[in-house]
């Protein structure tokens, strides 16, 4: 049986309220010096005792492209304390600095960490805020902008863009009916997008970025000539990238939904899957097409942090 076409539906937006309150769209910015810092994956912090702010992170993964940038917000003014990246070794390199020597971070309202593109010439922070928290009693608990603990969803294996029924396990679709989304997740906040993945033989291949789980994703380059559901998903049947053979049997692989930085229609951190992967499922070797399979929710990949002022 071929999946039929058609479709629409949305879930509520869940985003840490403080990020909306920061208002990273219109404001004054106090730029940082040209210092480049490095922090790390599991637990890392700025260790310069002379700096009036220390930030430690849990599970903030290294960026292959782009950089993190730290901000202290006071009223409508954003003060950068430098760009940095995380390292596999768990070390902090370089020294953070405020361009305004008279600024006291203890007088701020919020601490935020953004993701900035390579060779970023814009002094303003991007909309991709990876961590943020209000300052209270000399510290700020830094949280990711989405609570993924309530995420849920299903997928099916199907190839609606081909006429043959011999390749039905070479496509993944986040709909079980063709007309409704099977992802119980909110619309992605500004600066972020979701991305579907099939991991086969240890190598990930994208099924497309999307911001609205009830609408089509932004990619159909591997699909066939037929009409696809207007929902996230992809048939892996055409235009195989180097090193792949299509149709790509997804049985024995893993289906993943990740949360990706999203700026100007692209991911500034590169084509590889980002750190936060809240929904996954190992596809059985004997999985059948057009059968709904539950995605498993996980919070282990979500970063957090604490700022001490």
Note whether 104 and 178 are same-domain residues.
no
Note whether 133 and 162 are same-domain residues.
no
**pLDDT number for residue 35:** 37
Rounded to an integer, the average pLDDT of 255-275 is: 93
Exposed, middle or buried: residue 188 (CB in 10 Å: 0-12, 13-18, 19+)? buried
Rounded to an integer, the average pLDDT of 135-153 is: 97
Strands of 177-247, DSSP E: 183-184, 192-200, 203-210, 233-235
Half-sphere exposure of 98 (CA within 13 A, CB side): 20
Measured distance CA(83)–CA(114) in Å, rounded: 9
The answer as to whether 309 is a domain residue is no
Indicate the average pLDDT of the chain.
Answer: 85
Measured distance CA(174)–CA(73) in Å, rounded: 39
**pLDDT number for residue 295:** 98
pTM: 0.86
- Range(s) of the domain holding residue 42: 17-143
- pLDDT above 90 for 251: yes
Q: Helix (H, G, I), strand (E, B), or coil: what is residue 149?
A: helix
Note whether 118 and 180 are same-domain residues.
no
**pLDDT number for residue 51:** 75
Measured distance CA(53)–CA(225) in Å, rounded: 56
Query: Could you tell me the sign of the dihedral formed by the alpha carbons of 241, 219, 61, 251, in that order?
Result: negative
- pLDDT above 90 for 230: yes
The answer as to whether 135 is a domain residue is yes
**pLDDT number for residue 104:** 85
* H/E element, 308: strand 304-308
The answer as to whether 308 is a domain residue is no
- pLDDT above 60 for 259: yes
The DSSP symbol for 253 reads: S
- pLDDT above 60 for 20: no
The answer as to whether 307 is a domain residue is no
Note whether 118 and 255 are same-domain residues.
no
- pLDDT above 80 for 175: yes
pLDDT-based confidence at residue 48 (cuts at 50, 70, 90): low
Helices (H), 92-186: none
Percent of the chain with pLDDT over 70: 82
The DSSP symbol for 136 reads: B
Tell me which of 143, 164, 181 is where a domain ends: 143
- pLDDT above 90 for 258: yes
- The total number of structural domains in the chain stands at 2
Q: What is the largest CA-CA distance in the chain?
A: 69
pLDDT-based confidence at residue 44 (cuts at 50, 70, 90): low
Note whether 164 and 200 are same-domain residues.
yes
Measured CA distances, 60 to 99, 193, 199, 230, 262 (Å): 25, 18, 22, 34, 17
The answer as to whether 208 is a domain residue is yes
**CB under 8 Å to 217, separation ≥6 — which residues?**
196, 207, 208, 209, 210, 232, 233, 234
The answer as to whether 129 is a domain residue is yes
């Amino acid at each position: 049986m071929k999946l039929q076409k058609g479709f629409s539906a949305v879930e509520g937006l869940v985003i840490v309220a403080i990020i909306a309150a920061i208002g990273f769209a219109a404001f004054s910015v106090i730029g940082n010096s040209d210092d480049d810092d490095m922090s790390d994956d599991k637990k890392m912090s700025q260790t310069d005792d002379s700096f009036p702010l220390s930030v430690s992170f849990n599970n903030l993964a290294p960026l292959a492209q782009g950089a993190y940038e730290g901000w202290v917000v006071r009223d409508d003014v954003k003060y950068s304390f430098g760009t940095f990246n995380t390292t596999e070794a768990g070390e902090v390199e370089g020294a953070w600095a405020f361009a305004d020597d008279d600024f006291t971070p203890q007088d701020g309202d919020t601490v935020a960490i953004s993701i900035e593109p390579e060779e970023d010439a814009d002094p303003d922070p991007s909309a991709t805020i990876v961590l943020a928290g209000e300052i209270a009693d000399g510290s700020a608990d830094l949280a990711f902008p989405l609570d993924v603990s309530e995420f849920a969803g299903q997928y099916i294996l199907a190839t609606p863009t081909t006429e043959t029924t011999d390749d039905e396990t070479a496509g993944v679709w986040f709909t079980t009916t063709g007309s409704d989304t099977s992802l119980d997740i909110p619309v992605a906040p500004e600066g972020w997008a979701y991305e579907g993945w099939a991991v086969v033989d240890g190598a990930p291949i994208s099924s497309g970025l999307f911001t609205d789980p009830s609408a089509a994703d932004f990619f159909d380059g591997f699909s066939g000539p037929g009409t696809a559901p207007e929902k996230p998903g992809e048939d892996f049947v055409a235009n195989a990238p180097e090193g792949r053979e299509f149709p790509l049997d997804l049985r024995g692989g893993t289906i993943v939904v990740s949360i990706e930085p999203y700026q100007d229609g692209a991911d500034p951190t590169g084509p590889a899957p980002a750190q936060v992967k809240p929904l996954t499922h190992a596809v059985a070797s004997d999985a059948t097409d057009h059968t709904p399979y539950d995605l498993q929710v996980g919070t282990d990949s979500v970063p957090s942090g604490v700022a001490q002022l």
